[in-house]
Amino acid sequence: MITLRAMTRDDIEHGYAITQQLQWPHRREDWLQALTLGEGVVAEENGAFVGSAFGWRWGEQAATIGLVVVNPQFQGRGIGKQLMLAVMEKFPDSNIRLHATEMGKGLYEKLGFKVTGHIQQHQTRELAAVPCVHIPADLTLRNAQPADAELLTKLDQQAHGMWRPTLINSLIAEYQTVLLQDANQRVQGFASLRRFGHGYAIGPVIALNLDSAQMLIAALMQGLRGEFVRIDTDGALPLAAWLETLGLVQVDAPTTMIRGTPWSPQAGEMQAFGLMTQAMA
């Protein structure tokens, strides 16, 4: 008999072990970050951890679900559906976003999620082509400071409708986060670099246009020659072709699905050229 309960830090090792079985890249530290920023549900059978799922509330009307994992020995028994329903109950009035594997897509459709697009996972095991950073004279690139958090949170929300102050504060305090601003101090975009999975991940990348996104990514790639680098980008935006020229090949294309109303950025506002993670978006 399957029972469900709230996840605690003591469950991280069990969840990590399952993602290792599934050959997902997540480290223990990635699991801890997911739990720190969100909340998880654990499925047990006779006291044994057999699966889990996470949810993150991003403001009053937006949430994401991800890291839905079931021990391979227990798959096919509806445990994934039980976990999904338990997490969805936490966000009854929210527009919920997730990124589906081909295996999970059918279940999510039955739960009311609609396909809205896809993302492209680009990565390289050893970054060979480190792009030059060309910043026009009318723009300035600098490290983000705690005082920037409120503005970056608003710009982040412009791009995808999610209000994520806790995440933005964490990115500024714990990781390398850079922003681009014009001569009038107006921010043209920001991006973060952090350890994740097999090496480094760049994201989120929030920018007004492709040129700004490329400048931010190029700046964060300095010093990463020979390192594993990953970027997840929206398939509807024109970043992928440039990533390919840097040797970051596409290795996956999960489906973006929404239960509720999809977010549509306004003309002239920020766009999400890079995700934080597939789970958190």
Residues 68 and 84: beta-carbon distance below 8 Å:
yes
Cα 281 to Cα 269: distance, rounded to the nearest angstrom: 18
Whether the domain at 2-93 and the domain at 122-274 fall into the same CATH topology: yes
**Taking Cα atoms as reference points, which of 150, 222, 208, 156 lies closest to residue 180?**
208
Q: Domain limits of the chain? A: 2-93, 122-274
Task: Kindly indicate the confidence band of residue 58, based on its pLDDT and cuts at 50, 70 and 90.
Answer: very high
Give the residue carrying structure tokens 């001569």: 183
Cα 71 to Cα 117: distance, rounded to the nearest angstrom: 28
* CA-CA-CA-CA torsion sign (257, 98, 23, 121): positive
Task: List pLDDT tens digits, range 13-34.
Answer: 999 999 999 999 999 999 999 9
Beta-carbon contacts of 216 under 8 Å, excluding residues fewer than 6 positions away, are: 141, 178, 179, 180, 189, 190, 191, 205, 207
Q: What is the pLDDT of residue 8?
A: 97
Task: List pLDDT tens digits, range 188-239.
Answer: 999 999 999 999 999 999 999 999 999 999 999 999 999 999 999 999 999 9
Helix H or strand E segment including 34:
helix 28-37
Mean pLDDT over residues 236-260, rounded?
Answer: 97
Residues of the chain with pLDDT > 70, as a percent, come to 100
pLDDT at 110 exceeding the cut of 90: yes
Cα 183 to Cα 38: distance, rounded to the nearest angstrom: 37
Write down the CATH number for the domain with range 122-274: 3.40.630.90
Task: Kindly indicate the confidence band of residue 265, based on its pLDDT and cuts at 50, 70 and 90.
Answer: confident
Q: What is the pLDDT of residue 171?
A: 98
Task: List pLDDT tens digits, range 63-102.
Answer: 999 999 999 999 999 999 999 999 999 999 999 999 999 9
Write down the CATH number for the domain with range 2-93: 3.40.630.30
Nearest-5° Cα angle at 205, 229 to 96: 105
